[in-house]
DNA sequence: CCGCCACTGGAATGAACATTCTATATTGAC
DNA sequence: GTCAATATAGAATGTTCATTCCAGTGGCGG
């Protein structure tokens, strides 16, 4: 009893655990060695399975798993399992742990620095996620579609507007004809009315969706004008009326999103379109 | 009872489920739609969480999750959860070979894919570089300076305009008074003339520098109005007349720059200012 | 205006689960 | 060879969880 409260601290991340296991694997009892080997060989099983199912496939008793976890300082098996799950999550976005370290520093730093670091990390994650989410084939189809349009109509309101306005600027430089919709009040619908089916539209809208943008995109689609869209959820009203649509989930910091990933996407699209045109 | 045993078969993999959800999202009741949106937007949460924890963060009842799963032919929530877990298992590998394609650039890939990858990589580099280049102390001083201004004048033309327009949008949401300069032709100087030394300005300009922006910033400075600026070189005309200035070098791809890093910086600044004000 | 039906929230239920406990087995020392 | 100490198996326990059930609500058609 006298020394049991002196619990050694459990490893905080998967790598630390892995190291600890390898260090101590020589001095571990037979069954625990067995568990150790199984854990390192089948980490996914540990992450998803229940104690019973893991015990079965590792040929040990469930209680052995618990004792194994306790040997490494965890309260029980569940605590250990968390590390295996966290590992799977982070596989996807390697910047998540960096973000966490940044957030931990928070205490000593000025608040503005914390916010800055937060946005930098969020931007990184967003860009990782967009590069995973965009299908090269779909992107190519969207480029083809927009490249053969006579005029590209850019539909965007509110938060999305800065993106379309930069696209309009770049299109101008690249000598691609485009029409920015949503700039000054009132005349939007008149401009859209001039679109023919030799044109195409690119719409951007993030939650909460501006109902106008959705309505305008739908209208274009119903007139046979192909619509490509960028949005943040498969549930966006834009998705259903678009010939091609892309999902970008901007990671947020404290509820605010920077448009970093969307900007990268928009530029890639813009330049790709111009390039495709230039080649005929 | 007569037809309830005729259960429709549940989707067998994540993509099938996703498709099914999107198909039926129109005819789903309110709460189930909410779950559907949450599920597609936060698949990782569903994979790892418990029904209770997921219900909490999706703002529904646990029972709703079960009903949702049953609507799609599963026995219960657990069956649906299996799909989300399977997806995560598979993604580990698919994410890795996505990275591999990113590296073996050019060879067999469509040009648009190369361009896309290029912009993603450029965005990453830009953000890395800005997080290294911005001095926390200078950032803090800039925030302090702008936070105590009555009105913040945002000066930006051309390529920088999308950034300032997003800042203006965010400031609006955050109830910080600001004035966007450079929007419609002609009245800029009149607006700036109204600025007092209780105000402040934030100017953005990248090479090739719009001479107007530089002139306007200089004019503000000469009237004792503090100017903070974001630019891409120490030789920028903005640097010399600014109380604080920051350098962001957007990595370019094929000569075109996305504004990813500038956007992250702008949002960090905007939110920091609002936060500082809120605290008094 | 009334009654029906689908939807929803919340509590009740029962199953699955991790953990603990105890009897038994194994190991190593003297 | 015997004893002590540690490890292990398997049953018992108490908790957490998904699921079910029921009452209340709102909307729609008669």
CB of A63 nearer than 7 A to strand C: yes
Is the Cβ atom of B67 within 7 Å of strand C at any atom? yes
Mean pLDDT of A105-133: 81
Confidence of residue A97 (pLDDT cuts 50, 70, 90): very low
Q: Which residues of B touch A238 (CB under 8 A)?
A: none
Domains of chain B: 14-87 (1.10.10.10), 127-278 (3.40.50.10490)
Interface of A with B in 138-157 (CB under 8 A): 139-140, 143
The pLDDT score that the predictor gives to residue A95 is 43
Kindly report, residue by residue over A198-242, the tens digit of the pLDDT.
Answer: 999 999 999 878 888 889 999 999 999 999 999 988 888 898 899
The per-residue pLDDT for A8 is 59
- Checking each nucleotide's C1' against the CA of A59, the nearest proves to be D9
Task: Please give the interface size between A and B, counted as residue pairs whose CB atoms are below 8 Å apart.
Answer: 198
**Interchain proximity B91–A89, CB inside 8 Å:** no
CB A169 within 8 A of CB A208: no
Put simply, whether A20 touches B (Cβ < 8 Å) is no
- A206 contacts A235 by C-beta, under 8 angstroms: no
User: Is A49 within 8 Å of chain B by CB?
Assistant: no
**If pLDDT is split at 50, 70 and 90, which confidence band does A273 have?**
very high
Average pLDDT for B68-72: 89
pLDDT for residue B202 is more than 90 = yes
Confidence of residue B103 (pLDDT cuts 50, 70, 90): low
Count CB neighbours of A39 within 10 A.
21
Provide the pLDDT for residue A5.
39
pLDDT bin (cut points 50, 70, 90) of residue B231 is very high
The C-alpha of A121 sits at a distance from chain B's nearest C-alpha, in angstroms, of 9
pLDDT level of residue B253 (50, 70, 90 thresholds): confident
Residues found in chain A:
280
Handedness of CA A69, A72, A76, A77 (dihedral sign): negative
- Would you state the pLDDT for residue B148? 92
A185: pLDDT confidence band, cut at 50, 70 and 90? low
CB–CB contact A115 B268 (8 Å):
yes
Measured CA to C1', the nucleotide nearest A64 is D8
A76 touches strand C (CB under 7 A): yes
Whether A71 contacts chain B with CB within 8 A: no
Q: What's the CA dihedral at A67, A71, A77, A80 to 10 degrees?
A: -160
The 3-state secondary structure of B120-185 reads HHHHHHHHHHHHHHCCHHHHHHHHHHHHCCCCEEEEECHHHHHHHHHHHHHHHHCCCCEEEECCCC
Per-residue pLDDT at B9 exceeds 80:
no
- B34-55 pLDDT, tens digit per residue, is 898 888 888 888 988 888 888 9
């Amino acid at each position: 009893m006298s020394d049991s409260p002196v619990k050694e601290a459990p490893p905080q991340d998967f790598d630390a655990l892995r190291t600890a296991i390898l260090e101590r694997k020589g001095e571990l009892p037979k069954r625990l060695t067995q568990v150790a080997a199984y854990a390192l060989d089948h980490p996914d099983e540990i992450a998803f399975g229940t104690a019973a199912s893991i015990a079965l496939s590792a040929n040990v008793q469930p209680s052995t798993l618990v004792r194994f976890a306790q040997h490494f300082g965890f309260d029980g098996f569940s605590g250990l399992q968390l590390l295996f799950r966290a590992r799977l999550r982070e596989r996807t976005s390697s910047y998540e742990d960096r973000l966490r370290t940044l957030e931990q520093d928070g205490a000593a730093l000025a608040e503005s620095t914390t916010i800055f670091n937060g946005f930098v990390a969020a931007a990184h994650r967003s860009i990782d996620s967009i590069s995973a989410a965009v299908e090269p084939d779909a992107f190519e189809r969207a480029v083809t579609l927009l490249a053969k349009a006579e005029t590209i109509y850019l539909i965007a309101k509110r938060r999305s507007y800065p993106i379309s306005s930069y696209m309009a600027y770049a299109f101008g430089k690249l000598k691609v004809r485009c029409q920015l919709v949503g700039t000054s009040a009132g005349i939007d619908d008149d401009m859209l009315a001039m679109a023919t089916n030799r044109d195409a539209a690119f719409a951007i809208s993030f939650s909460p969706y501006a109902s106008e943008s959705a309505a305008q995109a739908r209208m274009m689609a119903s007139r046979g004008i192909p619509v490509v869209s960028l949005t943040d959820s498969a549930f966006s009203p834009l998705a259903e009326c678009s010939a091609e649509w892309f999902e970008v989930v901007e990671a947020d910091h404290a509820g605010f999103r920077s448009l970093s990933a969307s900007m990268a996407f928009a530029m890639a699209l813009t330049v790709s379109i111009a390039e495709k045109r230039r080649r005929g």
